[in-house]
Amino acid sequence: MATASFHVVVDEKEAVECIPLNEVAWHAGDGRGPGNTKSIGVEICESGDREKTLQNVAELVAKLLHERKWGIDRVKQHYDWSGKNCPRILRDTGRWPEFLGMIEKELKEMSEHWAEKYYKFLTEEKGIVIREKRFDDTVTRGELFALMARMMGYKE
C-alpha cells in the first residue's frame, strides 16, 4: 500500500494521480477522521498559470463528483477538516465561492443531456419546438412533418 498526502495533484498542464482514489491519503490533517479516510485529496500545484490551473482543478473535481453522483456539497477545503488556511490563495482572495461556481458549471455541463443545447436553441431562440423535453423518445412521422414545417416558416 502506498502512502501520500493527497490523491491527485493538478497544475496548468496535467493532473497526476499519486495514490489510488480508493486508498487513504493523509491530506486532511484530521488523523483517522473522515477527511483523511472518506475524502479524495486534490492538491493545487500553482507553478505558472493560476487561472488555467484552477480551471483544470474545477474540471477534475466536477468529473469526480459526476462519476460518483455526488453534489457540490461534497467539495471541502483543507480548512473544513483541520482549520488550516488552505487553499490559502482561494481563501485569502475570497475566491472560494467563485471556485465552487466553476465546479458547478462544469458539473452541470457533464450532467446535461447531449440534446439539451439543441432543445434550448429551438425553443428559446427559434420558437420551433413547443412540447416538453423528450430527448430519448422516438419521433413520429407526424411530429417530424410538423417540426420540418415550422423550420420552413409555417405558422399555425
Model confidence pLDDT, tens digit, residues 75-115:
999 999 999 999 998 999 999 999 999 999 999 988 888 88
**What fold does the segment set 8-111 form as a domain?**
Lysozyme-like (3.40.80)
Q: Is the pTM of this model over 0.75?
A: no
Domain map (residue ranges) of the chain: 8-111, 116-151
Q: Which residues contact 68 (CB under 8 A, 6 or more apart)?
A: none
Spatial separation of the C-alpha atoms in residues 113 and 132, rounded to whole Å: 14
Q: Which residues contact 87 (CB under 8 A, 6 or more apart)?
A: 44, 77, 78, 96
Q: Classify strands 42-44 and 15-17 as parallel, antiparallel or unpaired.
A: unpaired
Contact status, residue 56 vs residue 36, Cβ threshold 8 Å = no
Position 82, amino acid: S
> pLDDT (tens digit, 9 = 90+) per residue, 40-71?
999 999 888 999 999 999 999 999 999 999 99
59 CB-side CA count, 13 A: 12
Residue 2 has pLDDT above 60, yes or no: no
C-alpha grid cell, residue 80? 473544513
Spatial separation of the C-alpha atoms in residues 62 and 74, rounded to whole Å: 11
128 pLDDT band, cuts 50/70/90, is confident
Spatial separation of the C-alpha atoms in residues 146 and 154, rounded to whole Å: 9
Q: Classify strands 8-10 and 42-44 as parallel, antiparallel or unpaired.
A: parallel
**Can you give the pLDDT at residue 130?**
63
